[in-house]
Amino acid sequence: MQRFGTAFLDYWKRADKLLWLVMLAISGYSLILLKTIPNSSGRSYSYFAIQVMAILAGYLAAFIITAFDYRSLARLWWLAAGFCLLLLIYTYFKGTSVQSSGGMDTRAWIKLPGGLTFQPSELVKIAFMLTFAKHVSVLKEHGLIDRFIHVMLLGVHALIPVLWMFIIQKDMGSAVVFFFMFLVMAFTAGVQLRYFALVFGLIGVALPVAWQTGLIADYQKARLTDFLYMDSGNVDIDKIYQQLQGRISIGSGQITGRGLFTAPRVQKNAVPVQQSDYIFAVAAESLGLIGSLLLIGLLLALMIRTIHVARKATDDLGSTMCYGFFAMIAIQTISNIGMCLCLLPVMGVTLPFFSAGGSSSACLYLGFGLVECVAMHPTISDHIHIRRRAAITSAI
């Protein structure tokens, strides 16, 4: 017992304590919100119970990851990439699809025992943090980050998951997340601005072509445009029903909310899928503006602390990995809350750490573990320098 206590104290001394405290606060708040939602779907497990299991599994995985040097983990990039590729291929052939009368047909989940499902794209996001950061660090180490061919290869690296999500899985939300991660990680790594101008120029040419040729499905076009006409009366109410109900719930919370476990619209499940895509509406109705700002503040604190760890990292691998995590949390937060406020289109992007979903939550904690790993492990060069200085001192 004493040995365990000593090991824990040693771990706590080396850990980024503020990052852990922010994460614990986020976990507690997410569980409170999910506990208020009635389980009316007939599932054998409540959303709260699944989230508890996902959080515990995520923290255990994060704790294990921090025991390793992140550079050692990055050397296994090929294993992470290969495993995720096989997982995506399996999902394409054996995965579960979600279809709707509006034309949606997304195959992005794998069935698990007990009626549970797993979304491989969530794990691929974490693998992308690792593999892309390794790619960038190798280029910077050899002074190749400004070479045209190598920047193009970075683009190809990012294009693989983006196109897979957009074309194969028809998951526009995940494609946007991967693209934003690529932009932030490449920019903070020092890729010159002219290459970003080239990327956006190509997108400006490709989007109209994709829109006209049917590469963007009709239901995706509707999602991208319908929210703009919510108050015009010229759009089918069924297509904007979820966003409309979410906006009503957010407004009904006012300043202090209508109470946990007593907010009437939450208890009646007035907003479809409120436990996932519209968990922000649950916070806003139950706890009002105060609860909404608290939720945003916690996620903002996580992002700021992640940037702090990235800036303190003493190698490109660690800093780029942290910026990848920051980008993932930032774009999902903006997309989800913007969707709930009817400022952005519905893309099926969950609110990180808050939305129900075991695979999403558990994988996000893996990303947190990698950031904490960067914070806890100094570079090898520092170790060598310390040992050399000690040897010189002893000799003197």
Q: Is the pLDDT of residue 68 over 60?
A: yes
* Domain presence at residue 124: yes
* Domain presence at residue 396: no
Amino acid at 22: V
**Cα 333 from Cα 200, distance rounded (Å):** 23
How far, rounded to the nearest angstrom, does the alpha carbon of residue 132 sit from its chain's CA centroid? 15
Q: Of 73-87, 190-204, 364-378, 380-394, which range is least confident?
A: 380-394
Q: Is the pLDDT of residue 396 over 50?
A: no
Confidence grade of residue 124 (pLDDT, cut at 50, 70, 90): very high
* Domain presence at residue 382: no
> Comparing 35 with 237, which gets the higher pLDDT?
35
Residue 99, pLDDT score: 57
**Cα 289 from Cα 253, distance rounded (Å):** 7
| Among 374, 280, 368, 283, residue whose Cα is nearest residue 328 | 368
376: region left, alpha or beta (phi > 0 left; psi from -120 to 50 alpha) = alpha
Three-class SS state of 106: strand
**Cα 251 from Cα 335, distance rounded (Å):** 19
Q: Of 7-21, 120-134, 229-243, 364-378, which range is least confident?
A: 229-243
* Domain presence at residue 65: no
Q: Which residues contact 224 (CB under 8 A, 6 or more apart)?
A: 216, 345
**Cα 258 from Cα 265, distance rounded (Å):** 10
Mean pLDDT of 85-90: 93
| Among 372, 374, 373, residue whose Cα is nearest residue 23 | 372
Residue 8, pLDDT score: 72
**Cα 288 from Cα 285, distance rounded (Å):** 5
Look at the chain and report how many structural domains it folds into: 1
Residue 101, pLDDT score: 42
| Residue range of the domain that includes 207 | 79-351
Three-class SS state of 151: helix
Q: Of 111-125, 163-177, 342-356, 358-372, which range is least confident?
A: 111-125
**Cα 151 from Cα 274, distance rounded (Å):** 41
Tens digit of pLDDT for each residue in 230-274?
A: 777 777 777 788 899 999 999 999 999 999 999 999 999 999 889
Can you give the pTM of this predicted structure?
Answer: 0.91
307 to each of 68, 188, 354, 367, how far by Cα in Å?
Answer: 21, 11, 21, 14
| Among 218, 268, 224, 263, residue whose Cα is nearest residue 243 | 224
